[in-house]
Structure 1
Amino acid sequence: MTDTGPLTAATAAHSTFDPYARRVEASAVRFLYGMNPLAKLAAPLPAMALLVFVRDAATPAAFLALAYVVLLVGVSFTRRLAAILFLALPLSALVIGFGFALWTDASRVDQSVVVWQIGGWTMYGGALEVGFATGLRLAAIVGLTLIAGLSTTGPDLVRASVQQLRVPYRIGYTALAAFRFVPRFGHELDVIRQAHRVRGAHGGRGPFAAIARWFGYVVPLMAGAIRHAERVALAMDARAFGAHPDRTERYLVPWRVRDTVFVLAFWLASAAVFAVFFPWGL
């Protein structure tokens, strides 16, 4: 008989603080939550790889628009999503584009139009074109990664890798345990802060007091992390984790027909974009 969930006992008492304990319910409209994580990675992967070799601005702009459409339809619209799509990503593309424009070799674009000139320094239109094309290319790659990043949890990705890619569960569920450490650290840090406030050990105000407070958090946080790691190790040993070639899965992440349809449809859309713009010339 194989082991049945070695991490469950160690984390059951802390499931309130585990954002991965409750899986996101799939919706007919917000379809990305109900899809296999590997499908959401495989669909944009060829486009992301080919975008590295693109030098025009139209192709990454088209893929960025495609990523926006998929995200706005497939993911729940929240303030976080709005901030990423309409503030962080465009602003990052502008800053990166302007930075690359400043670093562009002027001798390669000195035949283009002069945008402005300050003393002996000249900003050419060709430099801005190269810079903002680079910024758009990076923004498009990030936008495509968000398709999986905003709709997939780390444990589901681990489970899908174990079940579909046949990753050894000894490796996969070690990564799953690591994913669960992150929210636990956050909870422990919150408890330590509250304990310091109750005892009045705030240490005053100012940057030096803040640094001293953070040093005061390190020792109890590390002690809590060691205790939690020991509990996880004991729970895994108690269930003979690693003693069998396979294990019983509590949560299944199947590959369905809709996952295949999504991957093929995205590949076709990507091929259509590259065929229309053909950024590499003849």
Structure 2
Amino acid sequence: MTTITSPVPVIDPYAPTAPASAWRFLHALNPLSKVAAVAPAMLLLVLVRDLATPASFIALAYAIILVGARITPRTAALLFLAVPVGVVVIGFGFSVWVDAALVDDTAPFLQIGSWTLFSGAVEIGFATALRLGAIAALALVGGLTTSGPDLVRSSIQQLRVPYRVGYTALAAFRFVPRFGHELAVIRAAHRVRGHHGGRGPIARIARGWGYIVPLLAGAIRHAERVALAMDARAFGAHPTRTERHLVPFRSRDIVFIALFFAASATIFIALFPWQPA
């Protein structure tokens, strides 16, 4: 009796991410739609100087991420702990560097001896910190739900980026995890051979310096293999190529862009101080 076995599944690292449920909608959107939705708001945030506008964009970005993205507990802790703490630290840091002569007509916020921190300086510092936090939060809308290969692939298909450039970027993207794997192998080989080099910061720097040459040699060998493989497959010999994985731009992407534009316009119209103080 002949037994028929099922084929072994092959994992394609370049395959698009698995489709998400309707509830986690950000993963199902085209990567370019997420970039197009947040890019105008990120550019306009550079011009604002108030506190309410960037704070509202941070809240909007957090709401979209919580509703539409699959996030791990570590990512959630980063969003709700690291980003607010960073805003507070950066805000006070910028406040200290504000020229006191520009805000000495405002109420004192903190006084240590002869040094005074005015409330106007705190407002300027936190306005700058909130702008940076809002830009970072908007970037996370696409950054947490888009992989590098998907973004490159959609740029080739929708923006007509030459595939020679796009797939060269994909090959470079694959270098990053490969470097991590090769570094782990080199470290294991050094430990087996007894090349510990002692402890302390100087010993760590010396060990790191010893990893550079093997990593560069491995990178050169890998780049040569990739170049030979691409040349053997006649990569770049034709103006176009057939795509194996498609990343379509659908009506849901247009709806997401339109809704985000509407929310952004509402925030700017309602909160931005159009009249100078």
Question: Is TM more than 0.5 here?
Answer: yes
2:85 matched residue in structure 1? 91
Aligned match of 1:200 in 194, 197, 208? 194
Report the AA paired with residue 145 of structure 1. A
- Cα deviation for residue 120 of structure 1 reads 2.7
1:53 matched to 2:44: no
1:42 matched residue in structure 2? 36
Q: Deviations over 1:139-192 (max 9, x none)?
A: 001000011111111111111111000011111111111111111101110111
Deviates more, 1:109-118 or 1:151-160: 109-118
- Percent sequence identity is 67
Aligned match of 1:176 in 170, 173, 188? 170
Report the AA paired with residue 211 of structure 2. Y
User: How many pairs does the alignment contain?
Assistant: 267
Q: Deviations over 1:202-239 (max 9, x none)?
A: 22212222122112211111111111111110111011
- Cα deviation for residue 19 of structure 1 reads 6.1
Q: Separation in 1 of the partners of 2:152 and 2:32?
A: 10
Report the AA paired with residue 270 of structure 2. V
2:76 matched residue in structure 1? 82
Task: Tell which has more relative contact order, 1 or 2 (C-alpha 8 A, sep 6+).
Answer: 1
Report the AA paired with residue 95 of structure 1. V
1:125 matched residue in structure 2? 119
Judge conservation of contact 1:70–1:147 (CA < 8 Å) in 2.
yes
* Alignment of structure 1 residues 10-49 onto 2, 5 Å: 23-49=17-43
* Alignment of structure 1 residues 1-282 onto 2, 5 Å: 23-281=17-275
1:9 matched residue in structure 2? none
Judge conservation of contact 2:24–2:68 (CA < 8 Å) in 1.
yes
The two structures have a TM-score, normalised by structure 2, of 0.92
Cα RMSD over matched residues? 1.7
Judge conservation of contact 2:156–2:162 (CA < 8 Å) in 1.
yes
Report the AA paired with residue 106 of structure 1. A
- Any stretches of 5+ residues in structure 2 without a counterpart? 1-9
The two structures have a TM-score, normalised by structure 1, of 0.90
- Cα deviation for residue 21 of structure 1 reads 5.5
Judge conservation of contact 2:50–2:272 (CA < 8 Å) in 1.
no
